[in-house]
A and B are shown apart, each in its own frame.
Chain A
């Protein structure tokens, strides 16, 4: 017998190695030396977090009790994986394009960014996964106790083992799962550690299998005949269980928080899925290959009454193969730990994003905290606490349930709970008509049935249900008996629960979806999800011509009514000779559309709406659709309520308000044109007047001539600069600018900008920099970037009104961005005009300085093109601008 101390030491060393692997992978990821960290095989191995301690030890026990049925646990995922082109590919693409962070986030995003739905899913996941975590702690404790002599202290040893395992896993998860707040929620260290553990558990099980087949038996033929003569040798199968467990396992690989985390969130590259589609089923095949042989030989060799869940360990131990036993123990340890780590990360993301943040934000409503660093800290802290709480819950569940056999069945029960998410996911992915109300209703019904028919009965006597209720139903209602709902008896409990919960879940989901009406955002998200492959989606921007057509279509439907709009679009599509249902948004078509729309909502409104979708936007498309929705409703009202003049007045007022808002937009455009005119005509006036003076006046002396020629020249230069700026701006705004991406050290770019901005200046500004922070290599269009920096420095020099003007240029990293702050010691920009400074022709104070007020507008456009941002920082005394630059910018 191996002593406990040796085993614990081995565990610690193994965990230390995992720490090193994770640490190394994080560093390799940060320094971009990707290479094989990004390999599709690492991705495939990381998916094996599916195979937990329950599958590692429990599969053999399962086989020893019920024969081949255990294999359905692996067949479900196999079917889902080989059908990747149809389902998973879409899921991963949506996950990436919508920046989804968890399964809860996926549903929330699909159903109109509803947080209620996210909270429901999060709670469902916590309830289903906590017992599952308890199961892993139990498997670690149980497997360790096999090595210890049986005596009184076993139970205690188990409990303290579970406690220490929970603490250690918590530490590991917090260290590598919440180190940074990555916008993509990717954790390279964890993925790598899980991949290593995947290899260990596979080889451990294969080693035990080979030992059993070729060591304890005489090879293949012998083992086959042993199986046939064993008590599980006869092919006996319950079709209901075979079907429902395959279904559950298939659902689990999509819906389990840890699987979604690994498959979608941690996915580096969509093409990895193509490899995982065959490699992961192969992994599953290998890991289930020796299960039956081990089970059968275990039944043969070991004394009756020994726990079949531990055959993987007890078989080598009973044959004195201590090394092999320890290897097997490490395999099980790997399986359990990787499951706990990834589950805790996935759940903590859900808890922090959907439970903590909404509460925090509504509590600190409308403060500017959104952009400050506080929220990041809060998110990380809430995740750490969530991880700790989840593991604590798992541990206490383990303690309360007594760590006995009651836990063993919890794996399938958890699967059944998680599977309740499936209808909403599948519906959301493939059916545009699915609505939030439908998803929520289906989920709730499924959840209730699952709790009633499976979870509560499984908790047994210690649970909430008495035998009386199980036998006769609550309050004597026979048809509500938990294991024979609506009087259907004779079904196995899993089959019974899966049948009722999933079928009613789907039914309610579909019916409610059919009768409810989605909000505009839901419709938008629905079409984005369902059509993710038919167009190029960027998460927030609305580029791409087909996308425009679709948005126009959505809007037109709201205003004209569905049939009329479709007819209009189809007619146009036919005229353009396009086979697609949607026409290209040609100028001609847009004009026609605008005309049609103006018949319903007035010209100004129609124009503003259409140009918002086809051109740049000041208000968001969502706002606009909301306006459109409102207008459509108003029209509907006014038709219905013609006689009720009071309400008509109300609707008329609403319409007038909407119209006013949109007329305002059109006034902005006029103001812009007259501004341009003013800026052009002013220098032209000076030029014309002085050139006429020089032409007509023969009595000018040399000094005067020289001076007037100088003025003409200055004004001509000013005019040219203005035209350049305008051209620059229009090129940038139209997106037709050509950018040249190069790499360079940030320090050199800032130096160049400082040099250019300071030369030839009447009054220099003193500039402070922290050179060591500027050593970052960036990739961007350097000329454009220098242009932005020069503009900011020159602005500080011109407008800083301190006695002794100083400018601090500060570089630091912020999430995935590099932030370059320009802080001066002047009096800053008054709060009222901070938003306006980035608009065209805005000048703040100080009339003596010339300039058309286009500089910051250009800066803003440039930064948008470079994938970054520029903003004014509130909360500083002096002028404070922040330039945000993505670390990697690919053109």
Chain B
């Protein structure tokens, strides 16, 4: 299974780790850092799967997702959200704006890979 993944994440080390993991599985990984310009980037890249961090410089992941689901031509892209704040409220918030999967940091590599895999299967089935 392969396709394009867009990873919006501001921590360079975490970006590098996820890029390594996904590209090893055959994904083409694009990355982006800034929350404020994330929507444009999503519409430009048109990824098959979007991995979105919750706390981003410029704009929060929740806001980006809400906007994406409401207005964008990319509204149907499956989204995996990451959060480091470790609160249940975050998960509820993310689910309220239509996230497909939510993973709290720190995660195991297997968790990420399986989640991306599942999202891809959903999309193509």
Contact = CB atoms under 8 A, between A and B. Distances in A.
A806 interface: no
Contact of B87 (A677, A686, A696, A715): A677
Contacts of A847: 10, 57
B109 A685 contact: no
Nearest to A692: B109
B14 A682 contact: yes
B16 A682 contact: no
Contacts of A684: 105-106
Contacts, number: 62
Contacts of A696: 109
Q: 5 closest Cβ contacts across the A-B interface?
A: A689-B17, A681-B84, A686-B13, A685-B106, A685-B105
Given A693-B21, A696-B109, A681 B86 contact: yes
Interface in B1-46: 10-11, 13-14, 16-18, 20-21, 24
A726 interface: no
Q: Which bucket holds chain B's interface residue count?
A: 20 to 34
Nearest to A704: B20
B8 to A, nearest CB: 14
A685 B21 contact: no
Contact of A688 (B10, B11, B108): B108
Contacts of B10: 847
Given A684-B106, A688-B107, A847-B57, A693 B86 contact: no
Interface in A677-714: 677-678, 681-682, 684-690, 692-693, 696-697, 711, 714
B55 interface: yes
Contact of B108 (A674, A681, A690, A692): A692
B59 interface: no
Contacts of B123: none
Contacts of A687: 106
A686 B85 contact: no
A711 B16 contact: yes
Contacts of B108: 688, 692
Contacts of B109: 689, 692-693, 696
A666 to B, nearest CB: 15
A674 B85 contact: yes
Contacts of A678: 55, 84-86
Contacts of B110: 692
B119 to A, nearest CB: 19
Nearest to B107: A685
A682 B17 contact: no
B106 A688 contact: yes
A686 B14 contact: yes
Contact of B105 (A682, A697, A714, A715): A682
A717 to B, nearest CB: 12
B85 A677 contact: yes
**B18, B57, B84, B110 interface centre (most CB from chain A within 10 Å):** B84
A696 B20 CA distance: 13
A689 B106 contact: yes
Interface in B74-125: 84-87, 104-110
Given A686-B14, A686-B17, A689-B21, A681 B87 contact: no
Given A678-B86, A686-B13, A847-B10, 7 more contacts: A677-B85, A681-B104, A682-B11, A682-B84, A686-B14, A689-B18, A715-B13
Nearest to A847: B57
14 contacts: A677-B84, A677-B85, A677-B86, A681-B85, A682-B84, A685-B84, A686-B14, A686-B17, A689-B14, A689-B106, A690-B17, A692-B110, A693-B20, A693-B21
A196 B104 CA distance: 79
B32 to A, nearest CB: 14
**A677, A689, A693 interface centre (most CB from chain B within 10 Å):** A689
Interface of B: 10-11, 13-14, 16-18, 20-21, 24, 55, 57, 84-87, 104-110
Contacts of B55: 678
A714 B13 CA distance: 10
A614 B37 CA distance: 46
A176 to B, nearest CB: 60
**A678, A685, A688, A692 interface centre (most CB from chain B within 10 Å):** A685
A682 to B, nearest CB: 5
Contacts of B13: 686, 690, 711, 714-715
A523 B79 CA distance: 61
A90 B52 CA distance: 67
Nearest to B11: A682
A847 B57 CA distance: 8
Contacts of B18: 689
Contacts of A674: 85-87
Interface in A635-691: 674, 677-678, 681-682, 684-690
A674 B11 CA distance: 18
Contacts of A685: 11, 14, 17, 84, 105-107
**B18, B85, B104, B108 interface centre (most CB from chain A within 10 Å):** B85
**B17, B20, B86, B87 interface centre (most CB from chain A within 10 Å):** B17
Contacts of A677: 84-87
Nearest to A707: B16
B61 to A, nearest CB: 13
A696 B24 CA distance: 12
Contacts of A692: 108-110
Nearest to B55: A678
Contacts of A711: 13, 16
Interface in A311-368: none
A495 to B, nearest CB: 79
Interface in A254-313: none
A293 B104 CA distance: 99
A169 to B, nearest CB: 68
A695 to B, nearest CB: 9
Interface string A622-646: 0000000000000000000000000
Nearest to A848: B12
B72 to A, nearest CB: 25
A686 B20 CA distance: 12
Contacts of B20: 693
Contacts of B24: 697
Contacts of B14: 682, 685-686, 689
Contact of A681 (B17, B21, B57, B106): B106
A674 B90 CA distance: 10
B123 to A, nearest CB: 24
A692 B111 CA distance: 12
A240 B5 CA distance: 103
B93 to A, nearest CB: 12
B20 to A, nearest CB: 6
A90 B107 CA distance: 65
Contacts of A686: 11, 13-14, 17
A682 B15 CA distance: 11
A686 B9 CA distance: 12
Contacts of B11: 682, 685-686
Contacts of A682: 11, 14, 84, 105
A453 B45 CA distance: 97
B98 to A, nearest CB: 22
A309 B76 CA distance: 108
Given A677-B85, A678-B84, A693 B57 contact: no
A277 to B, nearest CB: 65
Nearest to B112: A689
A389 B20 CA distance: 83
A664 to B, nearest CB: 17
A684 B17 CA distance: 12
A690 B106 CA distance: 11
A693 to B, nearest CB: 6
A687 to B, nearest CB: 7
